[in-house]
Structure 1
C-alpha cells in the first residue's frame, strides 16, 4: 500500500522581526505564542492555533534544516475560521489592519470559501476564510 499524508502539523515562516510577527499573529489573529526548547538546548518560538502551529525563524539565524532560500514575506497562507467575515472585518479595522481584498469567493481544499486578504508585518499574504456552507 502506498503511504499517504493526513494533515499539516506545522509550517515555518522566516521573519524579519520576531517581536512584530508574534504581536501581529497574537493580537490580530488570536494565535497563542509559545516558546519551546529543542534537543540542542536552543529556544524557539511558535504560534499555536487549532491543532496546528507556525514555527518562526529569525531571518539570518534560521534553524537547520531549513528551506533552500528562506525569505521573509514569501508566504501565502489561508486560515479557516468559524467566525463571520463581518466579525473579522470589525476586528481588523479595530486593529488598523488593511483588508487588501474581499470578501471574495475562492476554492478551498474541501469546497468553496469566502475570503478576506490581509498582509502580516513581513508582507506575507494572509487569507482568512469561511466555508461557503457557513455563510
Structure 2
C-alpha cells in the first residue's frame, strides 16, 4: 500500500548551478549530495554505466530524513541527456508549486535577481482554496515553478 510522497525529482544540466538557484533564490536548504554509479543505479534508471550526481534539498522547517518530502535534483554525467524544450502545455510537462506568504515581495526580489518570471502575480477567485495569487517562474533549466499565496478570507 502506498504511504506518502517520498520526494520530487527532475534532471538538471548543472547540479551546482541548480542547487545555488533553489538555495539562494527560493530558500531551500541543501540536505546533502551524493554520487551514484554501479549496477544498482544502472538497473533503476535503465542506463548502462550510469553516473549521477544528486542533491537533496528541503524547505526550512521540513523534517530531515526519510519522513519529509524533499526535492531531488539529478545531474547525469553519463549518459548526458538532451535539453528538451517543453512548454507547460505539452503532455508530460510538470511544475512544482510552492506556497508563499508574500508573493508580491517574492516577485520583486526574484525580478531584481534576474529570475525568468512569466507574469506578475495574478488573482484567482472561487477555487478550492478560496482566493489565491499565483505566478509562474523558470529555473535555470527552464523548469516551471509556481508560487501560490492563499489569501485570508475577507470580512463581509
Please, what TM-score do these two structures have when normalized by structure 1? 0.70
2: distance between equivalents of 1:71 and 1:47?
A: 23
Higher radius of gyration, 1 or 2: 2
Q: Please tell me the root mean square deviation across aligned C-alpha atoms, in Å.
A: 3.5
Gaps of 5+ in 1: 63-69
Q: Which runs of 4+ in 1 moved over 6 A?
A: 38-43, 70-73
Distance change in 2, residues 1:81/1:8 (3 Å): farther
Write out per-residue CA displacement over residues 51-76 of structure 1, whole angstroms, 9 at most, x where no aligned residue: 331011113548xxxxxxx9766541
Which of 29, 42, 47 matches 2:57? 47
Write out per-residue CA displacement over residues 69-93 of structure 1, whole angstroms, 9 at most, x where no aligned residue: x9766541111112x1121022112
2: distance between equivalents of 1:88 and 1:77?
A: 16
Distance change in 2, residues 1:120/1:33 (3 Å): same
Distance change in 2, residues 1:4/1:57 (3 Å): closer
2: distance between equivalents of 1:122 and 1:131?
A: 27
Which of 89, 92, 95 matches 2:113? 95
Larger relative contact order, structure 1 or 2 (CA cutoff 8 Å, min sep 6): 1
Aligned residue pairs total 124
On the 8 A contact 2:133/2:149 being kept in 1, the answer is yes
Which of 57, 66, 69 matches 2:74? 57
